[in-house]
Amino acid sequence: MMEKQWWKESVVYQVYPRSFNDSNGDGIGDIKGITEKLDYLKELGIDVIWLSPVYKSPNDDNGYDISDYKDIMDEFGTMADWEELLAEVHNRDMKLIMDLVVNHSSDEHAWFAESRKSKDNPYRDYYIWRPGKDGREPNNWESTFSGSAWQYDEATDEYFLHIFSKKQPDLNWENETLRHEVYDMMNWWLDKGIDGFRMDVINFISKEEGLPDAPNPEGKKYAGGGQFYINGPKIHDYLQEMHQEVMAKHDILTVGEMPGASVEDAKLYTDPNRKELNMVFTFEHMDLDSGPGGKWNFKPLRLRDLKENITKWQTGLHGIGWNSLYLNNHDQPRMVSRFGDDTRYRVESAKMLGTFLHMLQGTPYVYQGEEIGMTNIRFDSIDDYRDIEILNMYKEKVVEGNEPHDKVMESIHVKGRDNARTPMQWDATENAGFTTGTPWIQVNPNYTEINAEQAVQDENSIYHYYRQLIQLRKKNPTIVYGDYTLLDEENEKVYSYLRTYHDQKLLVVTNFSAEELNYEVPAEITEGELLIGNYIDVEGKLEKTIALRPYESRVYIG
Ligand code: NOJ
């Protein structure tokens, strides 16, 4: 029998502080700004806040490059502000989890400043240094943010590894002292009273012995390398050690961000008997609309691929580990623009997607602005973008390569991370009420219509619908613990599934298209009452045929 846990029954809300709420008019969101909005989050009904990094950082990658793990970024405020935030979160009976970014630090971290000084510096081995090979980099691995994953450093005539930007050198987890520095730091935050960690690319921390070249049949300058550092040889040892040193002493939520983790990997990471993590963020469903060329090479999503993938995770982890549920975050496009219709059926499709996700087994994550149906942004000029991944890719493809500006801009409009990073839209006043100054990235001009103030006032808004979804989960153990069966697998337009717990059944029917369709209810459920639906005028009883309107979703309980 599945063990009950508070983190299985919780809904998490992700705050990306830079874009959430600016309290001092410098154009950058900050910690006091978050504290000001806690009542809004409490009203929504969420249980846990995940705070993207607020630590000291030169902001090469918006805080995912940390120069001091135990201090707060100046633009975001002070440690006293953060302590006030934590206290106010707890006063409202919510919890706070922090982002743990320990695959890499900033190159401005004191450890790295020491490490680069000399080959015999005590901190040298905290990072991954290698001499060059045949006049070039130690291997052919490519950085996630374009170019080589190695940076030459003159002081010692060696290269250091950086899977992300060159200002994010990878930490060397082979080094036991470094590992214990990390565990001590985690315990230090836990002693301050936090409730868990979201762990950034945590399945990248163990690198293959010898750091071998990646196969490169196309003869490219740099060629991936992920197979040598994703789910690497010692990853489970490290996580078990971390568990023993940190997690075993606290009742906390842990979620590992894990690109390239399969459901088989996730069973190992999340089986409680193995003492590693509570849950992982899979990327598989985020990659279904990517072509062979990766994320920028997008293609339309086939609903059947989504069904196949979600079903694999739902059934694969059932009774073994635990799923996290998300359709967007600060690295992904806005879900309503990507999987719904962000113009004509914006409200309907956002509610439908919320229904689809919140009725699954797992812990749902809401990304800021999702609850009001915020949409992607289209800036015409590359100069309006801020994300290092976008800017490096544009430089490589357009400035240094031959690809046409328009084609690359289109891929940025569809897949770029800044889609999720435009400021939270609070009201219809200038800059969406996010700041009284000049925002660090432009506000989406649709804020005059799409904003939290409007959503809170309108009882039929996405926001109020999300409140209901969240309340239903709290009242209904079938939503949390029930098992999952996919229905009507072949249907290309409607995703439907059944949840069963003891003798209760839940039928979830979601129309992923703008068409009107007749849905024949499968024999698995014959009677039911409507639990929630995204159109207001629906009859209560389950009928044999459901006439679905564009992006309509219904949940019946029987
Ligand atoms: C994943 C984070 O979510 C992303 O924003 C960041 O750029 C990379 N990891 C590197 O830390």
200 C-beta closer than 6 A to ligand 1? yes
Average pLDDT (59-68) is: 98
Q: How confident is the model at residue 2 (pLDDT cuts 50, 70, 90)?
A: confident
Across 242-264, average pLDDT: 98
pTM: 0.98
From the CA of 388, give the closest atom in ligand 1: 7
Contacts of residue 156, defined as CB under 8 A and 6 or more positions apart, other chains included, come to 116, 117, 118, 119, 129
Catalytic residue among 158, 257, 370, 552: 257
Tokens of 281: 């963020």
Task: Judge whether residue 131 has pLDDT over 70.
Answer: yes
Q: Which atom of ligand 1 is nearest to the CA of 101?
A: 11
- Structure tokens of 326? 């998300």
Of all protein residues, the one whose alpha carbon is nearest to atom 11 of ligand 1 is 64
Catalytic residue selected from 47, 65, 195, 200: 200
Q: How many CB atoms lie within 10 A of CB 81?
A: 19
Instruction: Tell me the DSSP string of 329-358.
Output: -TTS--HHHHHS-SSTTHHHHHHHHHHHHH
Give the residue carrying structure tokens 């969420």.
Answer: 46
CA of 331 to the centre of ligand 1 (A): 7
CA distance 253 to 261: 19
Tokens (6 digits) for 516: 């009107």
Q: How far apart are CA 484 and CA 161, in angstroms?
A: 43
Pairing of strands 294-298, 290-291: antiparallel
> 209 catalytic, yes or no?
no
Q: What is the pLDDT of residue 35?
A: 99
Q: Where are the alpha helices (DSSP H) in 395-547?
A: 405-415, 452-457, 462-475, 477-481
Q: How far apart are the first and last CA of the chain?
A: 22
- In short, whether 64's Cβ falls inside 6 Å of ligand 1 is yes
**Mean pLDDT, residues 532-551 taken together:** 95
CA 65 to ligand 1: nearest atom = 11
Substitution site in 61, 161, 205 for ligand 1 pocket (most atoms within 8 Å of beta carbon): 61
Q: What is the pLDDT of residue 106?
A: 98
Q: How far apart are CA 67 and CA 275, in angstroms?
A: 30
232 within 8 A of 210, measured Cβ to Cβ = no
Name the band, by pLDDT with cuts 50, 70 and 90, for residue 162. Answer: very high
Q: For residue 344, with 0-12 CB atoms within 10 Å meaning exposed, 13-18 middle and 19 or more buried, which class applies?
A: exposed
Full DSSP string of 70-117: EEE-GGG--HHHHHHHHHHHHHTT-EEEEEE--SB--TTSHHHHHHTT
Rounded mean pLDDT, 375-389: 98
Rounded to whole angstroms, how far apart are CA atoms 204 and 102? 10
The encoded tokens of residue 196 equal 């868990």
Atom of ligand 1 nearest to the CA of 104: 11
The DSSP-derived string for 25-40 is SSSS--HHHHHHTHHH
Average pLDDT over residues 59-88: 98
Q: Is-catalytic flag, 181?
A: no
- Answer whether residue 216 shows pLDDT above 70: yes
Tell me the β-bridge partners of 143.
Answer: none
Q: Using the atom order of ligand 1, give the atom closest to the CA of residue 52.
A: 3
CA-nearest residue, atom 2 of ligand 1: 200
Report how far residue 146's alpha carbon sits from residue 398's, in angstroms, rounded to the nearest whole number: 13
Tens of pLDDT, residues 279-337? 999 999 999 999 988 999 999 999 999 999 999 999 999 999 999 999 999 999 999 99
- Ligand 1 near 81 CB (within 6 A): no
In the predicted structure, residue 1 carries a pLDDT above the cut 70: no
Share of the chain above pLDDT 90, in %: 99
- Rounded mean pLDDT of the chain? 97
- Please name which of 127, 130, 178, 138 lies closest in space to residue 156, comparing C-alpha atoms: 130
* pLDDT computed for residue 539 by the predictor: 82
Reported confidence tier of residue 405, pLDDT bands at 50, 70, 90: very high
Alpha-helical segments (H) within 125-217: 176-191
Q: Which of 14, 54, 59, 64 for a ligand 1 pocket mutation test, highest count of atoms within 8 Å of Cβ?
A: 64
Residue 228's nearest CA partner among 301, 106, 142 is 142
Q: How far is the CA of 61 from the centre of ligand 1 (A)?
A: 8
Instruction: Report DSSP letters for 409-425, one per residue.
Output: HHHHHHH-GGGGTSPP-
Task: Please give the pLDDT value at position 257.
Answer: 98
Q: Is the beta carbon of 388 within 6 A of some atom in ligand 1?
A: no
pLDDT digits (tens, 9 = 90+) for 95-117: 999 999 999 999 999 999 999 99
Mean pLDDT of 74-90: 98
